[in-house]
Amino acid sequence: MSRLVVVSNRVADPRKTAAGGLAVALADVLNSTGGMWFGWSGKVIEAADGGKPGEARQHTQQAGPVKLVTLDLSREDHDAFYVGYSNGVLWPVFHYRLDLADFDAGYVAGYRRVNQLFARKLKPLLQPDDVVWVHDYHLIPLAAELRALGCGHRIGYFLHIPLPPSLIMAAIPGHDWLIRALFAYDLVGFQSRGDLRHFDRYVEAEAGAQRLGDDGRWRAFNRTVQACAFPIGIDVEEFQALTDAPEAREMFERMRKEYSRRKLLVGVDRLDYSKGLPQRLKAFRELLKSYPEHRDSATLIQIASPSREDVTAYTDILHELESLCGSINGNFGELDWMPVRYIHRTVARPRLPGLYRASRVGVVTPLRDGMNLVAKEFIAAQDPADPGVLVLSRFAGVAEQLPDALLVNPYDIEGTANAIHLALTMPVEERRVRHQSQMAVIKKYDVHWWCQSFLDTLAKAEAEVTGTPWLRL
Ligand SMILES: O=P(O)(O)OC[C@H]1O[C@H](O[C@H]2O[C@H](CO)[C@@H](O)[C@H](O)[C@H]2O)[C@H](O)[C@@H](O)[C@@H]1O
Ligand SMILES: O=c1ccn([C@@H]2O[C@H](COP(=O)(O)OP(=O)(O)O)[C@@H](O)[C@H]2O)c(=O)[nH]1
């Protein structure tokens, strides 16, 4: 059997828990298959300590069945590649936020440089029949760089974030090279059918690609690539076991006791402008205004785990949130009731199931999201006899799979408040029916299905002998 080599910017020890959907999902996959996980160590070397652009310190360690190989990046590379191009250009544009993009010309050079560095460091570690699976927006050109070094392996790519329509993509200076780079892969996977449609339209209209049959294959730039949707899932069994574990049970009991007179709403997100947190708080404020019966009762626990604090847009949103929470508590709070409990820390994953289960409503209302695993975890943690209700943004990838959630437009503050009211007052019979159908979907399309279906499709994809000049971007 071929060895699986996973490449992603963020690498986590699969024996430990991590915040962020990608790290959680890949740790689950690699723990069961074994193999190698290659990426950034999370460490930055300052110039004064010898950090030089295009160079890296490499570390190798064995973590159970998984070999972890990580690189420390120089400050200059980190700032241009991670902060600059990945999170200052690709993240906002791919989440439809052109207003937040910073198209500094220096960033793209750093992005290319780090992708070349990854390719140079990875190539000598590859065995002939390895299957390489590259993840996410940080590493779009990695296959092209590997091919340029003569790498003929099967290489697949999965984009964890949304792919926007062509006209939004077109705002990125030189956007066409990004899509051309995707043609160096044998298989490209997206989270949703909507993202796949955007890819299809882009390659047809902007790259003159030719569709080959109805299995997602496209021909352009002298290469064939197959593009399909593979919605990522969670490990439902593992999550349910976490829900039954003492830590989650203890959390559940504590929350139930503490909030016995009240109804809990829960939100769990990285503190990211794509997650729609200010809009969510405004919807909660609107709920308290329009439906006074929920005053002194409904309590929103919002966990906002710190993320990308070196990007300005993330510090701006932090201040906005703090001020909204303060004003809601100031205006509506009572001596014995605070409407919002805002926690700006990462909560260890084993503690989340108990919190989800004690909550009557899960509020997952991103303005855009590739998938959103929290929505699936919330469903998996519920008691089927007395389940909570999911209020879900129609703009999260997961909405395609969960039409029985209460779907909302997060920009519509009143509409979202009405949906939360509906969730808080929904009779148990209806809650059970909705929960049952959502549970069936997340069980069927779990993380094992995601991994297996991607890797099976990759194994069958047409792999071409490469190394030709088109690979030079
Ligand atoms: O690594 P960070 O910069 O700290 O950010 C954390 C991760 O966020 C993003 O997650 C995405 O992947 C999830 C799993 O597929 C998906 O459910 C979610 O909708 C996406 O936002 C990002 O794509 C990862 O690269 C980051 O590691
Ligand atoms: O304080 C936190 C916040 C989030 N998470 C986990 O991080 C993941 C977030 O994934 P999601 O797909 O919802 O969004 P992302 O952060 O990847 O954009 C989920 O597994 C959460 O349980 C966590 O363990 N602790």
Residue 429 is part of a domain; what is its CATH number? Answer: 3.40.50.2000
In degrees, to the nearest 5, what angle opens at C-alpha 165 toward C-alphas 163 and 170? 100
pLDDT value at position 432? 98
Q: Residue 369 catalytic?
A: yes
Residues near 246 by Cβ (< 8 Å), separated by ≥ 6? Answer: none
pLDDT digits (tens, 9 = 90+) for 30-74: 877 889 999 999 999 999 999 999 999 999 999 988 999 999 999
Q: Which residue has the higher pLDDT, 346 or 20?
A: 346
pLDDT digits (tens, 9 = 90+) for 69-113: 999 999 999 999 999 999 999 999 999 999 999 999 999 999 999
- As a whole-number percent, the residues of the chain with pLDDT over 70 amount to 97
- Residue 229: give the domain boundaries: 4-233+449-471
Query: Can you tell me the distance from the alpha carbon of 355 to that of 353, in angstroms, rounded to the nearest whole number?
Result: 5
Residues 76, 224: one domain?
yes
What are the start-end ranges of the H helices in 6-104?
21-33, 75-78, 91-94
Residues 211, 262: one domain?
no
Contact 290, 256 (CB under 8 A): no
Residues 219, 327: one domain?
no
- State ipTM: 0.97
Structural domain tally of the chain? 2
Of 11, 160, 273, 311, the one to substitute when testing ligand 1's pocket (max ligand atoms within 8 A of C-beta) is 160
Residues 149, 47: one domain?
yes
Q: Of all protein residues, whose CA lies closest to atom 4 belonging to ligand 1?
A: 307
Q: Is 136 in the pocket of ligand 2 (CB under 6 A)?
A: no
pLDDT digits (tens, 9 = 90+) for 303-325: 999 999 988 889 889 999 999 99
**Chain centre distance of CA 468:** 34
Residues 316, 453: one domain?
no
Q: Which atom of ligand 2 is nearest to the CA of 307?
A: 16
Q: Is 162 in the pocket of ligand 2 (CB under 6 A)?
A: no
- Of 78, 95, 135, 160, which residue is the catalytic one? 160
Query: Can you tell me the distance from the alpha carbon of 232 to that of 243, in angstroms, rounded to the nearest whole number?
Result: 21
212 burial (CB, 10 Å; 0-12 / 13-18 / 19+) is middle
List the one residue out of 221, 153, 233, 209 whose CA is nearest residue 186.
Answer: 153
- Mean pLDDT for the chain overall: 94
List the one residue out of 165, 174, 164 whose CA is nearest residue 95.
Answer: 164
- As a whole-number percent, the residues of the chain with pLDDT over 90 amount to 84
